[in-house]
């Protein structure tokens, strides 16, 4: 191709892109996120328990409580109307509750894993049980929130009807993921104490960014194309907003999680205790659905798959999602395949 032709093509492409982008960006007034209708049905300090609005009867009689990770925010699960894990579950007939952990501040530096699992999750489970006058409800845990859900279900199996873990690490003794390798070497005491007991969200994000150091560059390189289409532009801006919204973590919880999980793998060994009570995963006897993402670089499949071997449930299923950690919530396949499969699994066991 001659230089002149290449130049003219480049110019024309840029003119087209700029014209489309002008229109698209000017149309955007607000980068809204997590717009599914919901109400706060209970709160405890910074924690809020949401119940998502639904029209008509749920197909499953038993409601489902979602326990998200302490890393980043749950809004990923309702990124935008056409890419919403939560909306899709609701449309598939599931009654959804969700725990919003809030934004820890310095007063929370001594908040422990016990506070989260035995305190907050237990309180929320009880609230939902009382609201529906049920002995047992369904629990869905996401990533670290899934590890919490496993701990909780092992200690309170009488309150959980069905358990779903989504991209949840349980076997931390592997080197498939960089995060698992780095966490083993981390001087977590120095980090927690140095940060004054509250781990900044930016510190955590920097670690996640380094797992795929060029991802940001790729994302921004694609921006001219992204801007040609308003929907993709909005999706980009929403993701940016979600990534940027990274809460700090309570230092003591972080310290314990890194030490007991990443460094000593205590949960899988049956050595992990909460308030003196051993968390024995074999006490999990309810139906369990374990979902992992095939290309997950944050929680690789090898860290998730052993879950089903550790529980005593007779009804257990391992489901592979073709995508990455984030794709589980926002990808097209999540909408088309994963959420309908989860809803079906729950309805069948209702």
Residues that bind other proteins (CB under 8 A): 1-2, 4-12, 14-15, 17-18, 21-22, 25-26, 28, 31, 106-112, 114-115, 118-119, 178, 181-182, 184-187, 190-197, 202, 206, 209-210, 212-214, 216-218, 220-221, 223-224, 227, 237, 240-241, 243-245, 252, 275
Residue pair 203/195 in contact (Cβ under 8 Å)? The answer is yes
**Positive or negative: CA dihedral 31, 327, 223, 212:** positive
Q: State the nearest-atom distance from the C-beta of 86 to other proteins, in Å.
A: 22
Measured from the CB atom, is 211 or 341 closer to other proteins?
A: 211
Measured from the CB atom, is 52 or 208 closer to other proteins?
A: 208
DSSP state of 337: I
Measured from the CB atom, is 240 or 271 closer to other proteins?
A: 240
Catalytic residue, from 49, 121, 143, 233: name it: 143
Measured over all CA atoms, what is the biggest interatomic distance in the chain, rounded to whole angstroms?
A: 75
Q: State the nearest-atom distance from the C-beta of 57 to other proteins, in Å.
A: 31
- Measure the CA–CA gap between 205 and 248, rounded to whole angstroms: 10
- DSSP character string of 20-46: HHHHHHHH--------S-EEEEEEETT
Q: State the nearest-atom distance from the C-beta of 91 to other proteins, in Å.
A: 29
Measured from the CB atom, is 21 or 343 closer to other proteins?
A: 21
Q: State the nearest-atom distance from the C-beta of 77 to other proteins, in Å.
A: 19
124 is annotated as an active-site residue: no
- Measure the CA–CA gap between 281 and 157, rounded to whole angstroms: 10
Active site residues: 143
């Amino acid at each position: 191709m001659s230089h002149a032709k290449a130049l003219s093509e480049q110019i024309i492409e840029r003119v087209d892109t700029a014209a489309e982008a002008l229109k698209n960006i000017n149309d955007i007034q607000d980068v809204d996120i997590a717009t599914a209708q919901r109400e706060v049905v209970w709160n405890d300090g910074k924690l809020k328990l949401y119940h998502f609005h639904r029209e008509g009867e749920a197909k499953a009689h038993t409601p489902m409580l979602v326990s998200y990770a302490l890393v980043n925010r749950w809004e990923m699960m309702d990124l935008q109307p056409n890419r919403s894990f939560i909306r899709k579950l609701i449309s598939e007939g599931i009654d959804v509750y969700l725990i919003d952990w809030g934004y820890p501040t310095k007063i929370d530096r001594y908040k422990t894993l016990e506070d989260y699992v035995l305190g907050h999750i237990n309180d929320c489970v009880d609230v939902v049980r009382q609201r529906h006058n049920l002995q047992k409800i369904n629990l869905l845990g996401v990533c670290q929130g899934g590890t919490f859900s496993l701990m909780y279900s092992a200690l309170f199996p009488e309150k959980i009807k069905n358990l779903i873990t989504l991209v949840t690490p349980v076997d931390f003794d592997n080197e498939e993921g960089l995060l698992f390798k780095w966490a083993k070497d981390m001087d977590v005491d120095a980090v927690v104490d140095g940060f004054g007991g509250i781990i900044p969200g930016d510190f955590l994000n920097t670690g996640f960014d380094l797992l795929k150091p060029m991802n940001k560059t790729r994302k921004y390189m694609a921006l001219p194309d992204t801007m040609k289409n308003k929907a993709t532009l909005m999706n980009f801006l929403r993701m940016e907003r979600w990534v940027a919204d990274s809460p700090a973590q309570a230092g003591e919880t972080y310290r314990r999680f890194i030490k007991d999980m990443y460094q000593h793998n205590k949960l899988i060994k049956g050595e992990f205790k909460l308030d003196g009570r051993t968390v024995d995963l074999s006490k999990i006897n309810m139906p369990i659905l374990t979902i992992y993402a095939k290309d997950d670089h944050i929680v690789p499949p090898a860290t998730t798959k052993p879950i089903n071997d550790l529980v005593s449930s007779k009804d257990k299923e391992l489901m592979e999602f073709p995508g990455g950690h984030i794709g589980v919530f926002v990808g097209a396949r999540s909408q088309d395949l994963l959420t309908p499969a989860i809803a079906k699994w729950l309805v069948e066991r209702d």
